[in-house]
A = this chain, B = another copy of it.
Amino acid sequence: MKTVRLGIAGLGHVGCGLIDLVERQADLRLPGKVEIVGVSARSRSRNRPVDISGYRWFDDAASLAEDSDVDVFVELMGGSDGPAKFAVEEALKAGKPVVTANKALIAMHGQALEELAQTKGVDLMFEAAVAGGVPIVRVLRDSLTGVAVKRVTGILNGTCNYLTTTMLNTGRSYEDVLEEAQRLGYAEADPTLDVSGMDAAHKAAILASIAFTADLDFDKVSVKGVDTIELVDLSFADRLGLRIKLITEGVLTESGVVCRVAPMAMPIDHPLARIDGALNTVRVEGDPLGAVTLTGPGAGAGPTASAVMGDISKLFSPTARSPFGRAAHHQVRRFVAAEPTERCPFFVRVKLSDRPGALASLTEALALHGVSVDKLLQDSADDNDVSPVAIVTHACSRGEIDAATERLSALETNIGMLQVIPIDAAGKREPGR
């Protein structure tokens, strides 16, 4: 199909994020056009960040799923049973692919739904159910097929990771930080699903089932949350060189797949120990790969909606996919050379001969071209009377720094080549026109 027509059930943060994304799809790299033919939610009149008046309204998600205009049913209602499960079953029975972000549904009933989808020969996709914007489901399922996976570990609940990170960093109690997180919208009014470890367990079970081609048996997953963690645990662990985080684990043992969620301690140089705040991360270890780690936003309307859209994009007619992912309707962009107007700070290192006025002539040369100094470090001269100097400049253009360094190169006091390296201040750099 050239156009995919969606029925979207559930208009919370993610549902509204998806509608917004469909409306701005020209910026994306979809193989065709995505349309919304109908929407459904508990309340039609609730105040929402997107205007839904242009879409057909369905009081009942299952009716939307079965509607003849709907090509793909998108389930964003949540809940492992009840209307979400029923509507997904109706869609699959009607021979329609389903895209869902519902981790509880997939963890509890994914296997039965898989059988139904396979019987009907349609897709059931749930990239958004695990780790939000981090594309770990497809990476495990489709990319790492050439890896014999041994272990999948992760930080899959941003709320828990935010709580433990913030407790340690601010020295505040669990109750105090949780209350603040609820006020800021980082934690639910009823945080039980998150802090008990259950939400992370749903995600961990899904990943373990894919990684090890294992029957998903959620009853076997052992689950412990962060709700018993005290500040003293985190701070004492820190003083012993350890970080405590809520870790998910799926591991292949001789007797089967062990899947669990529990607070774990690890040395501060462990790859998972540095993942702070609300980030999610998944580490896949296997043979002959070694380990690959994916990190990113594990929740939020935008990241989760983009994952749903990534699944939807797989439902266009299977023509041989362009090697670079291009479609005929995509805007073709050009490579261009970098422009000298782009501004950023620079690291400049020179070697000066150790004599009076050397440093003054250096700073003058910079000032003459409008390059101002943020930091400067000079060491004592070495045995050859050469004194290395490093400068961190304030943001300037490539043209300005090039002119300044040309002058520096010509200084009598300059010994040999100097080094000019742009500084990426993680987003602080202003792009050129």
Q: Which residues of A contact B (CB under 8 A)?
A: 17, 20-21, 24, 27-31, 110-111, 113-114, 117-118, 121-127, 133-135, 138-148, 153, 205, 208-210, 212-218, 220-222, 228-230, 232-233, 236-237, 239-240, 242, 244, 247, 251-260, 262-267, 270-272, 274, 286-297, 300-303, 305-310, 312-314, 318-326, 330-339, 347, 349, 351, 375, 377, 379, 388, 390, 392, 417, 419, 421-426, 431-433
A257 & B222 in contact (Cβ 8 Å cutoff): no
Give the most central of A24, A134, A218, A240: most B CB within 10 Å: A240
Q: How far is the CB of A30 from chain B (nearest CB, A)?
A: 6
Q: A146-B312, A258-B335, A290-B300 are in contact. List 5 more A-B contacts (CB 8 A).
A: A210-B325, A213-B332, A215-B333, A265-B422, A286-B306
Contact B222 A424 (CB under 8 A): no
27 A-B residue pairs with Cβ-Cβ distance under 8 Å, sorted by A, are: A28-B146, A28-B148, A110-B323, A113-B323, A123-B323, A125-B323, A134-B292, A145-B310, A146-B305, A146-B306, A146-B308, A214-B333, A217-B335, A220-B336, A239-B377, A240-B392, A256-B334, A257-B335, A258-B336, A266-B424, A270-B424, A271-B295, A289-B303, A289-B306, A293-B293, A293-B295, A293-B296
Q: Inside 8 A of A265's CB, which chain B residues have their CB?
A: 347, 421-424
Query: Are the CB atoms of A390 and B236 closer together than 8 Å?
Result: yes
Which residues of chain B are near A271, meaning CB under 8 Å?
295, 426
Q: Of all chain B residues, which has the CB nearest A206?
A: B324
Q: Are B320 and A123 in contact (CB under 8 A)?
A: yes
B293 touches A289 (CB 8 A): no
